Amino acid sequence: MIRRLFVALSLTGVAVVTVLVLRRSGGPEALFVLPAGNHMAALGAMVLEVLLRAVRFVILGTVMGAAVPLTVATMAQLAGDGGGAVTPSRSGSDPAKALILSRNRIRGGHIGALLVGEVVAEAALLPVCALVMALSLDVSMTAMGATLTWSVASLTLVGLAVRLAPTRDSSAPRLLQRFGVTGPRWERVVTVAADFRQAAGALRRISPVHLLLLAGATVGHIAARLATLPALAGSEFASENLAELLGWPFFLLYGAPLIPIPAGGGAIEAGFAELVGGYLPREQLGALTFWWRFYTFHLFALVGWLVITIPIRRKPPQRTAPEA
């Protein structure tokens, strides 16, 4: 009950901020001032972004010897968007991905290694992307601050997770024993941890070709995500204000997980209007704020929630009648 109230209050905050921003642009009718072609370009950018994240899962799975079909990887990414949308600091994203992967019979240790590999690739390349933007577009390093913070925090948590993974000869901590994690249950945990260590070891021995493909998918998905706002604003306007249309959204998109409330509670929309609004035409501020957040967050969060709550039913294997 408290969790649902928390989510409802956060979404209410999003709605209130959106209404206030729309008022600055002339009211609800301001939502419809953007050309249809701009919407198609923004939607295409975000579809590509999700697919590249899924391709990254496929590459990581190939490296560790776990076949992850592209459709399963895509559903896992969408589920992560849905789970992250209704939990503080997107803490439900990885469990939602793990749920979809486990439904499709990916082993627990491989799931853990997939999630770790994804975080390491993202956290390692985000500062590189930030540096390139700062040098080539004269983007303020302040706008890169949240990105660097996210990278450091993510790599720290991954390091702790890998270090705390139990070995085969370790015994269950007293805290877990109090919750009944003993005997067979602890053996299952140790087995999954051993699987995880083996898969993570394969990632450490990744070939140069797979490493290049992994980097390409990661940088590609970051670029596609950042391209959403320029696509909505139009090529002519974007070319004149590219640094602002890329830098501050970069800050907001990767600063969002640092906000400890679901959906940011309207903070992302308010931050967008404050940081980017001064560079946008007043009559388009409401539309660009709403649709940018819709395409980069709400749309695929909704699709992901459907992926989580409506699992695909598998047809039972047909039994052939025994020959007479």
The per-residue pLDDT for 267 is 83
CB crowding 143-182: b at 16 or more within 10 Å, else e:
bbebbbebbeebeeebeeeeeebbeeeeebeeeeeeeeee
Pinpoint the alpha helices (H) of 205-320: 208-226, 228-233, 235-240, 242-255, 267-275, 282-293, 299-309
Which class for 124: exposed (0-12), middle (13-18), buried (19 or more C-beta within 10 A)?
A: middle
- Cα 271 to Cα 88, 253, 296: the distances in Å are 18, 11, 15
Return the number of other C-beta atoms located less than 10 Å from residue 35's C-beta.
Answer: 10
Q: What is the pTM of this model?
A: 0.85
User: What band does 79 get if pLDDT is binned at 50, 70 and 90?
Assistant: very high
Rounded percentage of the chain residues whose pLDDT exceeds 90: 37
Over residues 4-60, the pLDDT tens digits come to 666 676 677 778 887 888 777 777 777 888 999 999 999 999 999 999 999 999 999
240 CB-side CA count, 13 A: 7
- Report percent pLDDT > 70 for the chain: 90
Higher pLDDT among residues 306 and 260, named by residue: 306
> What average pLDDT does range 294-305 have in this prediction?
91
The number of beta carbons lying within 10 Å of the beta carbon of residue 297 is 21
Q: For residue 292, count CB atoms less than 10 angstroms from its CB and return exposed for 0-12, middle for 13-18, buried for 19 or more.
A: buried
pLDDT in tens, 249-279: 998 888 777 777 776 678 888 889 888 988 8
**pLDDT of amino acid 262:** 72
- Mean per-residue pLDDT of the chain: 85
The confidence band for 232, taking pLDDT boundaries of 50, 70 and 90, is very high
User: CA 254 to CA 318: how far, in whole Å?
Assistant: 48
Highest mean pLDDT, choosing among 127-141, 159-173, 181-195, 210-224: 210-224
In this predicted structure, the answer to whether residue 320 has a pLDDT above a threshold of 50 is: no
| Whether 78 contacts 300, CB under 8 Å | yes
User: Kindly report the CA angle at 26 between 24 and 29, in degrees rounded to 5?
Assistant: 125
- Looking at the predicted structure, is the pLDDT value of residue 319 above 60? no
**pLDDT, tens digit (0-9, with 9 covering 90-100), for 83-121:** 888 777 778 889 999 999 999 989 888 999 999 999 999
Q: How confident is the model over 138-169, as pLDDT tens digits?
A: 777 776 777 888 888 888 988 887 777 777 66
